[in-house]
Amino acid sequence: MAAPFDLSDDTVIVVIGTGAGGGVLSNELAQRGVSVVALEAGGRYLPEDYVNDEWESFGQLAWLDPRTTSGDWRVARDFSGLPAWIVKAVGGTTTHWAGASIRFQDHEWKAATTYGPVQGANLLDWPIGAEEMAPWYDLAEKKLGVTRTNDIPGLPGCNNYKVFEAGAKALGYKEVHTGRMAINSQDYDGRLACQQTGFCFQGCKWGAKWSAAYTDIPRGEATGNLEVRERAHVARILHDDAGKVTGVEYFDADGNLQMQKARAVCVAGNSFESPRLLLNSASSMFPDGLANSSGQVGRNYMRHMTGSVYGVFDKPVKMWRGTTMAGIIQDEARHDPSRGFVGGYELETLALGLPFMAAFLDPGSWGREFTTALDSYENMAGMWIVGEDMPQETNRVTLNHEVQDQYGLPVANVHFSDHPNDIAMRNHAYRQGIAVYEAVGATRTFPTPPYPSTHNLGTNRMSENPRDGVVNKWGQTHDIANLFVSDGSQFTTGAAENPTLTIVALAIRQADHIAGELSRGNL
Amino acid sequence: MIETRPRKGLTRRALLSRSMAAGASLVVGAGFVAGSDAAWALETQALRPETMATLIQMARDIYPHDHLADEYYAIAVKGYDTAEAAEGIEAGIAGLNAAAQGKGHADYLGISWERDRVDILRSMEDSAFFQQIRGGLVTGLYNQKAVWPLFGYEGESFSQGGYIDRGFDDINWL
């Protein structure tokens, strides 16, 4: 078991959050002999604790602390206090994620250069590229056991996939398969193969899906170099007169305020909580919040251009049986401005249970138009759209001083409005998704609006020039040398792909960098 | 609590003789609402039985599923039958009845055609009362495990070993 570290031990690295970014970073640092205290706001839940029940699981795992919303996105109307469906638990949203693990396309690291000027978009090239990231992606794919990499076979196709594949092929799509998934198609790394249970979003009870909760976290703890403190909610990052970070204040499981000293602090609380924490850490030296000399903390919030298409058929599909998201069409992921928008999108299979279908198919809708759709639930197939959305400075996380959380801290307000490019891409994707299902005989289709966000990106973005973003190419803040950002909020642009694999690759790379800097005496 | 069988002594005949028809398939008696087939009965605590019957009809009109018996709608709204909630519900249903009377009907339950009831609901769909009832039904109705099989949904599967040997890929019509 992990040796506990003293609150006054100022040699430790404090990692805030234990998801795809913080959980992986904590373990990778621990494996390299670095002492880490990971502070996790949520509790610890393992496969035996997960429940095959959508609402019960939501109550168990979801981040339900208050947040507020604004902007013209429909989530602000239908789910005003729930801008995101993400997890508050050890392992973070890796308990909930679908497992889709695809690399950025090479050009997506250079969105500004590739797409050229897009009015209203705050596009920027990443300070890193495909060549730099390739070896880190290799390590991430091995860690996660991604299917269709390293000779790991693809998952078998479930009913929902078979409908999707038949429609895609009828339309002439070529890049159609059961995905690159961090879900075992065969036993791997001490974890079972997928049993086609469904409920991937509720935590995999077999452990067939990779989650930091039962891989990286316990492995890091086993080194003796990692201590994970559960139900520890960080309130503020502290600094000295020289502007260096010295530790953090957090509320422990009993609600008592504690102070942990640190050699360096890595923030990985996701794209809402990470900027919120930097802003809530404002001081007389940093009145606009930590690492915010650019004014970019909280800005450029991206959530991917999303939406869903459901199709009803005259015969049963039973889409809930089997892996929730093992199916992808990649033909539309390319950058092809002739379609009327820059960037691209993926189509991925998706199934919801009846309770969530009722909540998310058309939020707020009622009457027979709605209920006849649910009457055909057994005959439904579903897909999710995920594409690159445009970073906009005005889409941002700010502090809402009118609303406080249980600790009296101002909550995050999440403001989002679609860019015209997002709308054009979504409309294209709706048409293509509907065509996929109509090609195999759908009698009715539903272009379903985006759910509360699961991909939350960009609010502490990476930039070459300190003027344009919050962190450099290592995730190190431009302003404070011993303060890092280690989650999806680093993303300069969102690309079309599900972000977890890239977050993991960046976390491994950052751990290697931090360990190197420590050994070189630079931190 | 709702009883899926009538209270002792509440035979179908007795039930019908002691009550008045309320809507297509509900009967209202002193302190209770029941299915007209006497398959279930709901004793009310804080709400007037007529109010509960109207609420059940309203619930069905919001999310009409012809293959779901009234019992499921009654279960979905019975949580409003409390001292805390009753005042607001009584006021909301009174408003619903007033709207029905404005259209020349005796009350909401007295409207025979669903479309005429739905017209009234549409006219008040932005009200806090309507949104309270509609929002509550999303989980109150669709998260009842008893209704899941009526939509074909199979629910929990881990305890049965998932679907790897139980038809995850059994589609046969493509």
Q: Report chain A residues whose CB lies below 8 A from the CB of B154.
A: 318, 320-321
Length of chain B in residues, anyone? 174
| Residue A416: pLDDT band with limits 50, 70, 90 | very high
- Which residues of chain A are within 8 Å of residue B67 when distances are taken between CB atoms? 375
**Which of A198, A315, A370 lies nearest to residue B157, judging by beta carbons?**
A198
Chain A residues whose CB is inside 8 A of the B173 CB are 315
How many interchain CB pairs under 8 A, A with B? 117
Query: In this complex, do A196 and B151 lie within 8 Å of one another by their Cβ atoms?
Result: no
Residue A18 lies in a domain: yes
Q: How far is A152 from chain B (nearest CA, A)?
A: 19
Half-sphere exposure (CA, 13 Å, Cβ side) for A290? Answer: 29
Mean residue pLDDT of chain A comes to: 97
Look up the domain containing A43 and give its range: 13-519
Write out chain B residues lying below 8 Å of A320, CB-based: 153-154
Residue B1 has pLDDT above 60, yes or no: no
Say yes or no to pLDDT of A454 above 60: yes
Please enumerate residues of A whose Cβ is less than 8 A from a Cβ of B.
Answer: 51-55, 156-159, 162-163, 166, 194-199, 205-206, 315-318, 320-322, 353-355, 357-359, 364, 366-368, 370-371, 374-375, 377-378, 440
How close B14 gets to chain A, by Cα (Å)? 35
CB pair distance less than 8 Å for A354 and B118: no
Decide if B152 and A353 are in contact by the 8 Å CB cutoff. Answer: no
Each residue's pLDDT tens digit, A231-247: 999 999 999 999 999 99
Quick one: pLDDT at residue B40? 86
* A202 inside domain: yes
Cα B152 to the chain's mean position, in Å? 20
Cross-chain Cβ contact A199/B151 below 8 Å: no
Distance CA A344, CA B49 (A): 57
Q: Do A195 and B162 touch (CB under 8 A)?
A: yes
Select from A501, A139, A233 the least CA-distant residue to A346: A501
| pLDDT tier at B30, thresholds 50, 70, 90 | confident
pLDDT tens-digit readout, A43-62 = 999 999 999 999 999 999 99
| Share above pLDDT 70 across residues of chain A, in percent, rounded to a whole number | 99
- Proportion of chain A in helix, strand, coil states, percent, rounded to 5: 30, 20, 50
What pLDDT, on a 0 to 100 scale, did the predictor assign at position B20?
A: 63
To the nearest whole Å, the CA of A211 is away from the closest chain B CA by 18
CB of A467 within 8 A of CB of A293? no
The residue type of A253 is: A
Q: Give A16-70 as a DSSP string.
A: E--STTHHHHHHHHHHTT--EEEE-SSB---TTT--S-HHHHHHHHB--S--EEE
pLDDT tens-digit map of A103-162 = 999 999 999 999 999 999 999 999 999 999 999 999 999 999 999 999 999 999 999 999
CATH number for the domain that contains residue A166: 3.50.50.60
Asked if residue A480 belongs to a domain, the reply is: yes
pLDDT value at residue B11: 61
Task: Give the C-alpha distances (Å, rounded to integers) separating A24 from A84, A212, B76.
Answer: 22, 7, 43
Q: What does the pLDDT read at residue B38?
A: 76
3-state helix/strand/coil string of A356-392? HHHHHCCCCCCCHHHHHHHHCHHHEEEEEEEECCCCC
User: Inter-chain contact A375–B138, Cβ cutoff 8 Å?
Assistant: no
E runs forming strands in B4-156: 20-22, 26-29, 32-35, 41-43
The whole-number pLDDT of residue B29 equals: 85
Whole-prediction pTM = 0.96
Mode of pairing for the β-strands spanning A36-39 and A226-229? parallel
Burial of residue A341, with CB atoms counted within 10 A of its CB: 0-12 exposed, 13-18 middle, 19 or more buried:
buried
Residue B142 is nearest to which of A53, A322, A355, comparing CB atoms? A355
Query: Which whole number is the average pLDDT over B98-114?
Result: 96
| Cross-chain Cβ contact A197/B162 below 8 Å | yes
Give domain status of residue A2, yes or no.
no
- The pLDDT score that the predictor gives to residue B23 is 59
Q: With CB atoms and an 8 Å threshold, state whether A205 touches B152.
A: no
Q: Would the pLDDT of A3 be above 90?
A: no
If one compares B24 and B174, the residue with the highest pLDDT of the two is B174
DSSP element (H, E) containing A397: strand A396-404
Sequence ranges of the domains in chain B? 2-149
Question: A258 falls in which pLDDT band (50, 70, 90)?
Answer: very high
Question: For residue A193, is pLDDT > 70?
Answer: yes
Arithmetic mean of pLDDT, B67-90: 97
Would the pLDDT of A207 be above 70?
A: yes
Residues of chain A contacting B167 with CB distance shorter than 8 Å:
159, 318, 321
Q: Check pLDDT > 60 for residue A1.
A: no
Say what the pLDDT of residue A396 is. 98
pLDDT, tens digit (0-9, with 9 covering 90-100), for A262-300: 999 999 999 999 999 999 999 999 999 999 999 999 999
**b/e per residue A11-46 (b: at least 16 CB within 10 A):** ebbbbbbbbbbbbbbbbbbbbbebbbbbbbbbebbb
**Is B161–A195 a contact, with Cβ atoms under 8 angstroms apart?**
yes
DSSP assignments along A454-466, one per residue: S--B-TT-B-SST
In a domain, A68, yes or no: yes
Q: How many domains does chain A have?
A: 1
Residue A288 has a CB neighbour count (10 Å cut-off) of 13
